[in-house]
Amino acid sequence: MIALEVLYEDNHCLALNKPAGLLTQGVPPGVPTLEAQARDYLKQKYHKTGRVYLGIPHRLDRPVSGVVLFARSSKAAARLAEQFRERQVTKVYWALVERDGQGEPPPSEGIWEDWLLKRAEEARSEVVPAHTPAARQARLRFRRLACFDESALLEVYPETGRMHQIRVQAASRGWPVRGDVLYGAKLPFGPDAELPRDRLIALHGRSLTFLHPIRYEPITVTASVSDHWAGWTL
């Protein structure tokens, strides 16, 4: 089991740096997950014999690494879930994207606004016209941090939280996240994987800023990148 990287911990919250390739939460039970590792960590550290409560106000996709915030009480879970629902949490991601077919990187900064439709049976989303039934608006801001021969590093600030939002919005403009074959990436990221579900993509939940659920003071939690990012970050 990979050692947990604890980013923040008190009686109400626990923030961890999720490795890419690990599920946040498992369905069905028994699959290795960050949630199960967090429960084991708390049980051992605090010598708990019963079930450990953990609320999960948000998740990261399996191939994505970065900050995951858990709640350690039902009161904290409800208040953090409300912050995510009301878009009061500031989320920052790093995305290493491929240059487009003409070799051009994304602009130095910008805003992407789309309507996304979740295809649950295919476990993916797609950009659709605004009038499409069940489509939901997606918006993010970004700035370009660096350019490379075949790629560009973006810092992304999603303002909505749609399924695969950053991945599909970037890919729809010709700049897929490296390693993200689901959305058309051609360049690899990280080690080779035998199974598609084990592939890593170059998307990292860099930081979360939220209000503490009890004290209401702002807290920013930042997650370092893994060795797979060596040479790509500043």
Topology classification of domain 6-226: Pseudouridine synthase (3.30.2350)
Q: What is the pTM of this model?
A: 0.94
Which backbone phi and psi does 40 adopt, to 5 degrees? -60, -40
Local structure of 85: helix, strand or coil: helix
Confidence of residue 164 (pLDDT cuts 50, 70, 90): very high
Q: Which of 50-59, 195-204, 209-218 has the lowest mean pLDDT?
A: 195-204
Residue numbers annotated as active site: 61
User: CA 135 → CA 46, 117, 118, 132, 162, distances in Å?
Assistant: 45, 5, 7, 6, 10
Structure tokens at 88: 């009061």
Q: Give 57-108 pLDDT, tens digit per residue.
A: 999 999 999 999 999 999 999 999 999 999 999 999 999 999 999 999 999 9
The residue ranges of every structural domain in the chain are: 6-226
Residue from 200, 184, 180, 183 nearest 192 by CA: 200
